[in-house]
Amino acid sequence: MKTLVLAAVAAFLATPVLAQTAPAAPPPTAPPAQTVELPQVAGATADPTCGGRAELARIAFCISSTQAGMQSVADAYSAEFTRQGWLVGAGDANLIVYVRRKEGGGCEAFQMQAFTDDTRVPAPGAPAYLAFATIPGDVCANRPADAGAAPQ
């Protein structure tokens, strides 16, 4: 399952490059289109610009906080997602992929990614951001074997 989720994440992260020639869409004003509910979290404020990252703002819903407060904000979101039935499917220090089985079969997924402004000096009061975006498709679907692979 981890390989499938990571493949889905890789495909999702490649999407902005392909979308650069598409007409600009308004930034998301709501959380990902899944059945995930983003709670009101102390210290978090909606940021439709995603910290000034236009490409990210086209595909994600972002919140801002401070670097000092980001861990508690992320922990509060994670606790709420667990309560909603989401499971951590993959992740690292700055990215968590949440997965949940759909009632009719398959899975839905979204990711939460933390980032800061690379042009600013890290500081407790400096801005930090979380981006929430859906991962398209069914991350639990079986993928066909690579047609180019040699038989063994």
DSSP state of 24: P
Domains of the chain, by residue range, sit at 2-135
Q: For position 10, what pLDDT does the model report?
A: 37
Average pLDDT of the residues in 37-56: 94
Q: For position 142, what pLDDT does the model report?
A: 67
Distances, alpha carbon 97 to alpha carbons 48, 103, 127, in Å = 21, 19, 23
Average pLDDT of the residues in 101-128: 94
The DSSP code sequence of 28-63 is P-SS-SSS--PPP-TT-EE-TTTTT-HHHHHH-EEE
pLDDT above 70: residue 14: no
pLDDT above 50: residue 105: yes
Q: For position 36, what pLDDT does the model report?
A: 74
The confidence band for 17, taking pLDDT boundaries of 50, 70 and 90, is very low
Q: Which two tokens stand for residue 122?
A: 């890290």
Q: Which two tokens stand for residue 113?
A: 């990614």
The confidence band for 141, taking pLDDT boundaries of 50, 70 and 90, is confident
pLDDT above 90: residue 6: no
Distances, alpha carbon 30 to alpha carbons 55, 80, 81, 108, in Å = 16, 17, 16, 17
